[in-house]
Chains A and B, each alone.
Chain A
Amino acid sequence: MALLDIDKLSAFYGKAQALQDVSLSIAEGDIVALIGTNGAGKSTLLDSIMGQVTVSGDIRLKGESLVGKPTSKIVAAGVGYAPERANLFAHMSVRNNLLVGAYTARDNIADNLSRVENLFPVLAERAGQETSTQSGGERQMVSIGRALMTNPSILLVDEPTIGLAPKVFNDIAEALRRLNAETGLTILITEQNVNFALTLARHIHVMETGRIRVSGTADELREDAALAEAYFGH
């Protein structure tokens, strides 16, 4: 059984349909990337999983449907989310941002905090700094760290490289790779940066105008010349 199953999912902003019949499964321990241009529906798919968008169809985590649940229950069920805009608490310290993430996982605070600070040592060094004064890369780390503090079974990361320098997004890629290798945490990322996605993910889904157009392993997609030309520009 897959860890996360998405079945014929459609999503709506008012009368506008943003996703159409999206189906995909994510196995436990996998790293999966959704790639596509702006407006392809990647962020909407993650927001749908988090219960932030009106949807039809089904989303199941370990067989349990998440549709209709409030976001806080979805987090408690085991979905951690680092959104594209981070949505940090700008005038709280780094440490307090992380501690808010522990709201539903208070039994594991010390372990989770240690895991986050081991992954991103800069967050321990700047524990007292307000996130409003941090760089984009550090804010991305706080965002991922806060999601990890919820003790998730699956981590959703929306566009982790957007607006970041190559050195920083390589660090973040390395951290996500380490996280997956050391703890077996399942990771779903969205990306416009195809090379980043290909180097990190094992399975890739290409999205266009609210639908999944192509799916395959990173190797399959990389070796398919027609697909590479159509979607990756090389």
Chain B
Amino acid sequence: MTQILIQGFLLSGLYALIAVGFTLIFSVGRVLNLAYGAYLVIGGYAYFWLSQTLGMPKIVGVLLAIVLGAVIGISKYRLIVKPLKGDHVAVEISTLILAVVVQAGIVLLFGDASKILHPIVSGVSRVGGATVTYNILTAAVVSWVILIGLYLFVRFTHLGRALEAVSMDVKGAAISGVDPDQMNQLTWAISGALGALAGVFFASYTQLYPGMWVTPLIIAVAVVIVGGIGSILGTLLVAHIIGFMEVISTSLIAAELRGVFTMLLIIVVLIIRPKGLFGRAEL
């Protein structure tokens, strides 16, 4: 039981980190960024190359992966999303194609074999009979700190309020002096940075391989659909529901069920509560 509780909390923290960047894009830009998982792949491989191939310090590897994620996020917005001017279907198709292109590029550069990332923080502890790796503990703590920071940023700063304003009413934000284009660009940068960071932790929790964008994308979509579009608190809560559901199903029923209940939950929520459990169209 202790093992389930601890693993549930830790995995949920990681899932929240994975989902929050996807949520931001959806609520501010109203874009379903199907290439979101590609940020995780790029972040994971950038960290692998910088830290394990070039031998840079781990923290430098993590920071540069985050910067790369932000740059790719901005580039994606300026080169694909903005020129398509709100054509959601075209954006979704383009971002999905982009994810496949990124996967092919990674295969070309690094090969298609899985790679093992060294833990960012090494070490293991036993808490109440449960095994806790410092790596996943760090991922969970970083995730909670980022989510709380993001919540405070949105609630209590001019820039955060401007982001929230764009997510609620673009014209209202514009006539208040907020530039929606700048806010969208900022959101794509934050989303890319968070996705890349999540990729480093996710890859070090599982494995690094070119197709690793699919699972995080399903997690992100699930959190957004079940939590409701755009709610940071909803993201945190639903990430915990999904995280615990996975830990319980894989620990008590069968390891093969990983992800199955998450997808079933998406279908159930879409049928009985399409706006999500905490659904409101804002951050």
Tell me, yes or no, whether A175 is within 8 Å of chain B by CB: no
Tell me, yes or no, whether A83 is within 8 Å of chain B by CB: yes
Query: A92 to B164, Cβ gap below 8 A?
Result: yes
In whole angstroms, how far apart are the Cα atoms of A96 and B175 in the complex?
Answer: 15
Tell me, yes or no, whether B78 is within 8 Å of chain A by CB: no
Task: Give the contacting residue for B158; candidates A89, A92, A99, A147; CB below 8 A.
Answer: A99
Query: A106 to B158, Cβ gap below 8 A?
Result: yes
Tell me, yes or no, whether A22 is within 8 Å of chain B by CB: no
Tell me, yes or no, whether B87 is within 8 Å of chain A by CB: no
Task: Give the contacting residue for A88; candidates B158, B161, B162, B172; CB below 8 A.
Answer: B172
User: Number of contact residues on A: which range applies?
Assistant: 20 to 34
Q: Which A61-83 residues sit within 8 Å CB-CB of chain B?
A: 70-72, 75-76, 81, 83
In whole angstroms, how far apart are the Cα atoms of A72 and B170 in the complex?
Answer: 11
Tell me, yes or no, whether A153 is within 8 Å of chain B by CB: no
Query: A89 to B177, Cβ gap below 8 A?
Result: no
Query: A90 to B168, Cβ gap below 8 A?
Result: yes
Query: B161 to A99, Cβ gap below 8 A?
Result: yes
Query: B164 to A75, Cβ gap below 8 A?
Result: no
Across-interface contacts of B246 in A (CB, < 8 A): none
B 175-194 binary contact with A (CB < 8 Å = 1; else 0): 11111010000000000000
Across-interface contacts of B282 in A (CB, < 8 A): 89-92
Task: Give the contacting residue for B176; candidates A90, A106, A150; CB below 8 A.
Answer: A150
In whole angstroms, how far apart are the Cα atoms of A192 and B206 in the complex?
Answer: 65
Query: B280 to A71, Cβ gap below 8 A?
Result: no
In whole angstroms, how far apart are the Cα atoms of A87 and B162 in the complex?
Answer: 14
Given contacts A91-B282, A92-B165, A100 and B173 within 8 Å (CB-CB): yes
Across-interface contacts of A72 in B (CB, < 8 A): 174, 177-179
Q: Which A121-160 residues sit within 8 Å CB-CB of chain B?
A: 146-147, 149-150
Given contacts A72-B174, A87-B172, A100 and B161 within 8 Å (CB-CB): yes
Q: Which A152-187 residues sit within 8 Å CB-CB of chain B?
A: none
Given contacts A52-B174, A75-B175, A90 and B162 within 8 Å (CB-CB): no
Across-interface contacts of B162 in A (CB, < 8 A): 100, 103
Interface of B is mostly: helix
Task: Give the contacting residue for B175; candidates A50, A90, A91, A102; CB below 8 A.
Answer: A50
Across-interface contacts of A96 in B (CB, < 8 A): 161
Q: How many residues of B contact A (CB 8 A)?
A: 19
Given contacts A91-B282, A102-B158, A76 and B177 within 8 Å (CB-CB): yes
Query: A101 to B177, Cβ gap below 8 A?
Result: yes
Across-interface contacts of A56 in B (CB, < 8 A): none
- Report the minimum CB–CB distance from A138 to chain B (whole Å): 16
Tell me, yes or no, whether B169 is within 8 Å of chain A by CB: yes
Across-interface contacts of B171 in A (CB, < 8 A): 52, 83, 87
Across-interface contacts of B178 in A (CB, < 8 A): 72, 100, 103
- Report the minimum CB–CB distance from A85 to chain B (whole Å): 9
Tell me, yes or no, whether A104 is within 8 Å of chain B by CB: yes
In whole angstroms, how far apart are the Cα atoms of A234 and B114 in the complex?
Answer: 83
- Report the minimum CB–CB distance from B86 to chain A (whole Å): 15
> A146's closest neighbor in chain B, by CB?
B176
- Report the minimum CB–CB distance from A59 to chain B (whole Å): 15
Across-interface contacts of B169 in A (CB, < 8 A): 87-90
Q: List 9 other contacts, CB 8 Å, given A92-B161, A103-B178, A150-B176.
A: A71-B175, A72-B174, A72-B178, A83-B175, A87-B175, A90-B168, A92-B282, A100-B173, A106-B158
A-B pairs with beta carbons under 8 Å apart, 5 shown: A72-B178, A81-B175, A83-B175, A90-B282, A96-B161
